[in-house]
């Protein structure tokens, strides 16, 4: 049902982030208490369990395409309909890719252990689990485009904090706040795509969306690594968070222009 989409997507986002929050500690515990092989075996079994429940997922046949819907079948035409959302998706993961690469380097530069990156990223994941549940529980003011821009700019600003501070605890605080913003961004992104595309082409749309996210993450990783080679981590953070803000603004302006033409 359409009115349940927000709640369903919030649960999906929280479940996904729960894996990121509790997976690393579980691996560490199994590695210490059992062995590396034991950890791999347990994780392989846990990863295979969802396949047992796949047949229980309800499915229904999609309506046959009408003559007016035929042009939207090609991926290129679908991308033309949804490219602002794809840019948003790339921007979100560009930011995540940046901090994944730069955080260990930043910790080393301030004289802390790289191992602290684990707890810092766990704070991000736990916060995103909570925010996903809260966001899906009610409706929020503002359009999806305005919400996404505000959240993305706020997330970029918060993750710039490690460029200006040195205590590791401040990084954990910054990442926890960023995690509170992250899950709502993903939910808004997915809701926006469902509103932009007819149901029968959403599978292709989501494939393109995740491809854009992967591209954003990959480009951020390469750019961050290159920046670290020629400058320090604080400059790399500021550079990449600024580019994230630019992507968010481009996405909002493009979506407003697209709606103005519709």
Quick check: is 172 in a domain? yes
Quick check: is 67 in a domain? no
pLDDT at 161: 93
Quick check: is 33 in a domain? yes
- Domain of 145: which CATH number? 1.20.1250.20
pLDDT at 73: 64
What integer best gives the mean pLDDT of the chain? 83
Decide if 10 contacts 132 (C-beta within 8 A): yes
**pLDDT tens for residues 204-255?**
888 998 999 999 999 999 999 999 989 999 999 999 999 999 998 888 888 7
Q: Which residue has the higher pLDDT, 138 or 220?
A: 220
Residue 77 structure tokens: 């035409």
Q: Which domain holds residue 225?
A: 2-49+77-261
* Residue labelled with tokens 């913003």: 181
Percent of the chain with pLDDT over 70: 90
CA-angle at 74, arms to 194 and 190, nearest 5°: 15
Quick check: is 124 in a domain? yes
**pLDDT tens for residues 178-195?**
999 998 888 888 888 888
Angstrom distances, CA of residue 253 to CA of 42, 144, 172, 239, 257: 47, 13, 33, 22, 6
Quick check: is 59 in a domain? no
Range list of H helices, 137-201 = 144-158, 168-196
Quick check: is 159 in a domain? yes
Q: For 142, left (φ over 0), alpha (ψ -120 to 50), or beta?
A: left
Decide if 153 contacts 245 (C-beta within 8 A): yes
**CB count in 10 Å sphere of residue 239:** 17
Q: Which residue has the higher pLDDT, 168 or 53?
A: 168
- Report the C-alpha dihedral over residues 99, 100, 106, 108, rounded to 10 degrees: 170
3-state DSSP assignment of residue 29: helix
The pLDDT confidence band at residue 72, using thresholds 50, 70 and 90, is: very low
Quick check: is 58 in a domain? no
Q: In sequence order, what are the residues at sequence separation of 6 or more whose Cβ sits closer than 8 angstroms to the Cβ of residue 136?
A: 6, 7, 8, 9, 10, 11, 13, 187
Please state the length of the chain.
262
* Residue labelled with tokens 């959240």: 151
The pLDDT confidence band at residue 172, using thresholds 50, 70 and 90, is: very high
Give the total number of structural domains in the chain. 1
pLDDT at 16: 77
Cα separation, 216 vs 204, whole angstroms: 18
Quick check: is 167 in a domain? yes
Residue 132 structure tokens: 């996903």
Cα separation, 126 vs 224, whole angstroms: 25
**pLDDT tens for residues 23-58?**
777 777 887 788 888 888 888 888 888 777 777 776
Q: In sequence order, what are the residues at sequence separation of 6 or more whose Cβ sits closer than 8 angstroms to the Cβ of residue 173?
A: 123, 161
Q: What DSSP character marks residue 62?
A: P
Cα separation, 151 vs 157, whole angstroms: 10
């Amino acid at each position: 049902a359409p009115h349940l989409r927000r709640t369903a997507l919030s649960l999906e986002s929280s479940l996904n982030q729960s894996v990121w929050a509790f997976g690393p500690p579980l691996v560490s515990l199994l590695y210490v208490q059992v062995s590396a092989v034991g950890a791999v075996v347990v994780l392989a079994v846990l990863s295979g369990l969802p396949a047992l429940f796949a047949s229980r997922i309800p499915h229904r046949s999609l309506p046959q395409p009408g003559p007016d819907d035929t042009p939207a079948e090609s991926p290129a035409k679908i991308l033309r309909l949804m490219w602002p959302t794809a840019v948003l998706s790339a921007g979100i993961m560009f930011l995540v890719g940046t901090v994944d690469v730069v955080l260990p380097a930043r910790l080393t530069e301030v004289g802390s252990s790289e191992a602290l990156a684990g707890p810092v990223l766990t704070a991000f994941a736990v916060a995103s689990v909570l925010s996903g549940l809260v966001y899906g529980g009610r409706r929020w003011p503002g359009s999806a485009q305005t919400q996404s821009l505000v959240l993305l700019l706020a997330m970029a600003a918060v993750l710039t904090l490690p460029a200006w501070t040195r205590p590791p605890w401040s990084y954990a605080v910054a990442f926890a706040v960023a995690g509170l913003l992250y899950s709502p961004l993903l939910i808004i992104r997915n809701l926006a795509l469902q509103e932009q595309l007819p149901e029968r082409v959403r599978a292709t749309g989501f494939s393109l969306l995740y491809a854009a996210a992967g591209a954003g993450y990959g480009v951020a990783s390469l750019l961050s690594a290159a920046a670290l080679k020629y400058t320090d981590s604080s400059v790399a953070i500021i550079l990449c968070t600024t580019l994230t803000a630019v992507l968010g603004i481009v996405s909002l302006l493009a979506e407003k222009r697209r709606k103005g033409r519709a």
